[in-house]
């Protein structure tokens, strides 16, 4: 009989705009892999890298977990926000004591703002054609 080392995964799903991120946290050295690419390759802007790592920094677990992320939809901003939301949710599953810290930092609130649909008779969602009096 062989003994297999049991790895504990913590899952989280996050959403922002039209992006959906699924995260697996596992005990490790702090590596973040997004759609098969390292964090710095996937997000070249420091702002997005900071957004993704914020839940880990708030809870002082930046070097404790590796994150494997699958994210679809939207652009870089929405994807970074979705990943941050998913990581925060996964951290709560790992340790329920993180909830007040993450809540205070605003990382558990799902941002519901999405693009408003275009209405018929209008040029965009709310912009009406120019009115001419004569």
* 124, part of any domain: no
* 118, part of any domain: no
* 132, part of any domain: no
> What pLDDT score does 72 carry?
97
Say whether pLDDT at 1 is over 60: no
> What pLDDT score does 10 carry?
93
* 15, part of any domain: yes
* 27, part of any domain: yes
**What is the tally of structural domains in the chain?**
1
> What pLDDT score does 8 carry?
86
Residue 61 DSSP symbol: -
* 58, part of any domain: yes
* 134, part of any domain: no
> Domain containing 52: what range?
9-104
* 120, part of any domain: no
> What pLDDT score does 4 carry?
52
CA–CA gap between residue 98 and residue 18 (Å, rounded): 27
Round the average pLDDT of the chain to a whole number and report it: 93
CATH code assigned at 93: 3.30.230.10
Beta-strand (E) ranges in the chain? 9-16, 19-27, 32-34, 37-38, 65-72
SS3 content of the chain, % helix, strand, coil (to 5): 35, 20, 45
């Amino acid at each position: 009989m062989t003994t297999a080392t049991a790895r504990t995964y913590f899952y989280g799903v996050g959403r922002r705009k039209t992006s959906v991120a699924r995260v697996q946290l596992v005990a490790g050295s702090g590596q973040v892999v997004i759609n098969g690419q390292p964090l710095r390759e996937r997000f070249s802007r420091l702002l997005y890298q900071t957004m993704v790592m914020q839940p880990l920094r708030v809870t002082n677990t930046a070097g404790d977990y590796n994150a494997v992320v699958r994210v679809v939809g939207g652009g870089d901003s929405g994807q970074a926000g979705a990943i941050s939301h998913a990581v925060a949710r996964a951290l709560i599953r790992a340790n329920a004591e993180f909830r007040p810290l993450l809540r205070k930092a605003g990382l558990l609130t799902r941002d519901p703002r999405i693009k408003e649909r275009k209405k018929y008779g209008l040029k965009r969602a709310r912009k009406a054609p120019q009115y001419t009096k004569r």
